[in-house]
Amino acid sequence: MNDDYQSCLVSRLSRFVPLTNAERGFIQEMEKDERPQRKGRPVVSVGDVTEGITVLKTGWAVVKADSADGRSQILRVYLPGEVMGLAEIGSSHANHRIIMQTDGKICPFPRKGLAPLFSDYPRLGALLTALGSLDQIALRHHASSLASMDASNKLKFWLLQLRSRLEVANVGLGNRFRVPFSQVEIGQAVGLTSIYVNKLLRRFVDEGDLEIDRPYFRILKRDEWERDCEYVNAFLDMDTSWFPAAHGEGSTGDADLSAPRKS
């Protein structure tokens, strides 16, 4: 493996366990078919035949659903280093459309290429499975916030969760992070009108809760927001105790390669 190889996916996974050279090499293979993708372009459309997964190497993407009256809802945001289609690996056709939110690079990887995860890299397979489960928990928390919280806390919760996920990918800057969404798009993600989003953001700024320097947001009262929303960071609770041992030699020099890394 190329020692100079940099990958957001490697960075994301290494937050939980120190990867071996062999595991890093497999990820490099997953990201070998690199394709530039422009903002607004579809990665996959509803009904498309899906032949595997797609690593979002750089850039952001969103999962969108469209209603009969032309309105759109953002169901999920994908960040650099995340794997698109892993949760839907059992389906042969796409159920939602995925669109690039920014310019970026995607790396399609065939379904049959995942077989070595179960035979040669079982710990990496377990890690991807566990991380996918935390993603699903985070999505449930978001869905619960939409159903139970008032408008202000819905928006706070969405920003808090975005910050947490960016931190896992090592592409965030603590409480200051990029938010490449218009107010219309933020509304589509949290179930509010763009007018209401604008009103809430202005109130957060006026009350000293938030700084906005587009496209960057800085949460100034994170502890207070987390208390208000009863926010739980799903990505601080990965159990790696059940992971199988890594095969082959490690690149980190750690004696126990299955030990979890604290975030």
Residue 218, strand partner residues = 176, 211
Q: Confirm whether 110 is domain-assigned.
A: yes
Q: Confirm whether 63 is domain-assigned.
A: yes
Dihedral (Cα; 216, 219, 220, 226), 10-degree rounding = 180
User: CA torsion sign, 180 to 33 to 173 to 62?
Assistant: positive
Q: Confirm whether 243 is domain-assigned.
A: no
Q: How many CA atoms lie within 13 A of 30 on its CB side?
A: 30
Q: Confirm whether 118 is domain-assigned.
A: yes
Q: What is the pLDDT of residues 33-53, one digit of tens each?
A: 999 999 999 999 999 998 899
Q: Confirm whether 109 is domain-assigned.
A: yes
Q: Residue 248 — pLDDT band, cuts 50, 70, 90? A: low
Q: What is the pLDDT of residues 162-197, one digit of tens each?
A: 999 998 876 656 899 999 999 999 999 999 999 999
pLDDT at residue 170 in the model: 67
Q: Confirm whether 214 is domain-assigned.
A: yes
Residue that wins the pLDDT comparison between 4 and 11: 11
| Domain residue limits at 182 | 8-236
Q: What is the pLDDT of residues 126-172, one digit of tens each?
A: 999 999 899 999 999 999 999 999 999 999 999 999 999 998 876 65
pLDDT at residue 173 in the model: 63
Q: Confirm whether 242 is domain-assigned.
A: no
Q: Confirm whether 246 is domain-assigned.
A: no
pLDDT at residue 168 in the model: 83
pLDDT at residue 69 in the model: 77
Q: What is the pLDDT of residues 63-106, one digit of tens each?
A: 999 877 778 899 999 999 999 988 888 888 888 899 999 999 99
Q: Residue 255 — pLDDT band, cuts 50, 70, 90? A: very low
pLDDT at residue 66 in the model: 83
- Overall domain count for the chain: 1
For residue 32, the domain's CATH number is: 2.60.120.10
116 has a pLDDT exceeding 60: yes
pLDDT at residue 149 in the model: 96
